[in-house]
């Protein structure tokens, strides 16, 4: 399903095309505590990723969508807009984490490019309390997922605030392919209008 050197290729793309942005956590989907300062975010937007790794775009629209369909009771569709369909999310060192938020799309797919066993940080932390509105509140009652390269994860986190913890080594790097999927009752047209400006550098 994936090319033999897929990890190496995506890591090279991450090095060459990463874009930085400071996220101000005021989006409709943000679940940061009031007064949280801007959070550094590094991504390779989907339109660039589609140009540099067309095989990944094809896999997102085809085999990955088909796998996601197995866990969805509704017909699953991929994004029409390449900008946010399948993107690379990147973290470096000990000073970066991913924003605490909920998803606007009904199914999220994550393909881990790098390994982060227990103790290395970079965990996906998913809150059980839909009302959680800060990292400490999510941490108080949560599930924790450690990234394993090559593992593909699907989940619906529209009602579950979640974030990614910082790495524990200053020389570490975390890379994951994040993919958005939609259904007839939660279509792409309902994506919040502020999300593109919130997530991507302009």
Predicted local confidence at residue 91, as pLDDT: 98
CA distance 79 to 188: 7
The pLDDT, as a whole number, for residue 105 is 98
List pLDDT tens digits, range 36-74.
999 999 999 999 999 999 999 999 999 999 999 999 999
Res. 1: pLDDT tops 90: no
Q: Which two tokens stand for residue 79?
A: 């994004």
DSSP for the chain reads ---TTHHHHHHHHHHHH-EEEEE-S-STTB-PPTTPPPEEEEEE-HHHHHHH-HHHHHHIIIIIHHHHHTT-SS--EE-S-HHHHEEEEEEETTT--EEEE--SSSEEEEEE-S---TTSB--EEEES-TT--SHHHHHTSEEEE---TT-EEEE--SSS-EEEPPBSSTT-EEEEEEEEEEBTTB-GGGS-TTHHHHHS--
pLDDT over 90 at 201, yes or no:
no
Closest CA to 119 of 166, 151, 75: 166
**116 contacts: CB under 8 Å, gap ≥ 6:** 122, 123, 146, 147, 167, 172, 174
Mean pLDDT for 2-27 is 97
- Does domain 6-185+193-199 fall into CATH 3.40.718.10? no
Q: Kindly state the percentage of the chain with pLDDT values over 70.
A: 99
Q: Is 7 exposed, middle or buried (0-12, 13-18, 19+ CB in 10 A)?
A: middle
> Among residues of the chain, what percentage have pLDDT more than 90?
96
- 119 and 169 in contact (C-beta within 8 Å)? no
- What average pLDDT does range 95-104 have in this prediction? 98
User: In this model, does residue 17 exceed pLDDT 90?
Assistant: yes
Summarize pLDDT for 3-14 with one digit per residue, the tens: 999 999 999 999
Say if residue 131 is exposed, middle or buried (CB neighbours under 10 Å; 0-12, 13-18, 19+): exposed
Q: What confidence score (pLDDT) does residue 157 get?
A: 97
Mean pLDDT along residues 76-88: 98
Mean pLDDT of the residues in the chain = 97
**Does the structure show a pLDDT above 70 at 202?**
no
pLDDT 10s digits, 138-162: 999 999 999 999 999 999 999 999 9
Task: Write down the domain spans for the chain.
Answer: 6-185+193-199
Rounded to an integer, the average pLDDT of 127-142 is 99
Structure tokens at 142: 């949560």
Q: Encode 52-80: b = buried (16+ Cβ within 10 Å), e = exposed.
A: bbeebbebbbeebbeebbeebeeebbbbe
């Amino acid at each position: 399903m994936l090319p033999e050197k897929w990890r190496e290729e995506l890591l090279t793309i991450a090095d060459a095309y990463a874009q930085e942005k400071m996220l101000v956590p005021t989006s409709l989907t943000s679940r940061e505590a009031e007064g949280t300062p801007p959070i550094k975010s590094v991504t390779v937007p989907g339109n660039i990723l589609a140009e540099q790794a067309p095989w990944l775009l094809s896999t997102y629209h085809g085999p990955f969508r088909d796998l996601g369909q197995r866990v969805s009771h509704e017909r699953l569709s991929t994004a029409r807009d390449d900008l946010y369909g399948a993107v690379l999310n990147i973290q470096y060192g000990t000073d970066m984490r991913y924003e605490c938020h909920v998803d606007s799309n009904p199914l999220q797919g994550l393909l881990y490019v790098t390994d982060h066993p227990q103790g290395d940080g970079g965990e996906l932390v998913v809150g059980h309390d839909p009302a959680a509105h800060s990292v400490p509140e999510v941490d108080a009652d949560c599930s924790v997922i450690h990234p394993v390269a090559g593992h593909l994860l699907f989940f619906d986190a529209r009602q579950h605030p979640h974030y990614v913890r910082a790495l524990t080594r200053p020389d570490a790097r975390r890379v994951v392919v994040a993919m958005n999927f939609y259904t007839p009752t939660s279509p792409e047209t309902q994506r919040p209008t502020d999300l593109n400006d919130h997530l991507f550098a302009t």
